[in-house]
Chain A
Amino acid sequence: DTEVTQTPKHLVMGMTNKKSLKCEQHMGHRAMYWYKQKAKKPPELMFVYSYEKLSINESVPSRFSPECPNSSLLNLHLHALQPEDSALYLCASSQESGRGQETQYFGPGTRLLVL
């Protein structure tokens, strides 16, 4: 089973709203990732969690706040977003065996529209 689930599938929010994106995997993977993808562009890495600790933060604005409550869950808290933050947000996970050849498996994504 290589399933990563994401909720919600679609989200519309105003610039003053607070919302959260949720990602879940039950493959025993120890690394989880958030990517942002604009239309007709490749995904861009935002955050990496490894063994539930934030290991990479690619200079993402503080209005995006990641959280990893346990090894299966990854949240992305959104606050005071801008219209340019509208994008597809993809979650991924991979095994963290240290060999460095692990495949990242992606969820279906959340399409976010900020009005």
Chain B
Amino acid sequence: AQKITQTQPGMFVQEKEAVTLDCTYDTSDPSYGLFWYKQPSSGEMIFLIYQGSYDQQNATEGRYSLNFQKARKSANLVISASQLGDSAMYFCAMRDLPSNSGYALNFGKGTSLLVTP
């Protein structure tokens, strides 16, 4: 069974600083995809970044980058130059094992990030 682990229930970071949110995963499938989502208090799940297991380079999207260490089975999200609007819950997720149709996501428990002035 696949599993996503986020060990940091809550994190604080000062505005303009960088922060790393941890995510480890466990899967026996050589082909997998890892996702990070941001969920503000409004509730919407906002897609941030994707990393495929065969991607040669770490994914980056603006201020977001993924520190992908395949041998350690970790996919940590790095947010650079934090902004007050980054305060939210962050979920790491993995695409489930291939099925005939539809690809459910397995989510970690999430990390609540608070950016302080």
Interface residue ranges, A against B (CB under 8 Å): 2, 31, 33, 40-43, 45, 48-51, 53, 55-56, 88, 90, 92, 94, 96, 100-109, 111
Contacts and interface: CB of A to CB of B under 8 A. Distances in A.
Contacts of B47: 2, 103-106
Contact of B101 (A55, A103, A104): A55
A100 B110 CA distance: 23
Nearest to A41: B109
B91 A56 contact: no
A104 B36 CA distance: 11
A103 B99 contact: no
A106 B102 contact: no
A68 to B, nearest CB: 12
B61 to A, nearest CB: 11
A88 to B, nearest CB: 5
Contact of A106 (B45, B50, B100, B110): B45
B42 A100 contact: no
Given A106-B44, A109-B43, 7 more contacts: A2-B47, A43-B45, A96-B101, A96-B102, A101-B95, A104-B105, A111-B43
B104 A33 contact: yes
Contacts of B98: 100
B102 A108 contact: no
B105 A45 contact: yes
A101 B33 contact: yes
Contacts of B109: 41-42
Contact of A45 (B31, B46, B52, B104): B104
B103 interface: yes
Contact of A48 (B31, B35, B46, B104): B104
A2 B91 CA distance: 19
B43 A43 contact: no
B107 A31 contact: no
12 contacts: A2-B47, A43-B45, A51-B101, A55-B99, A55-B101, A88-B43, A90-B43, A90-B45, A100-B98, A101-B33, A104-B47, A106-B46
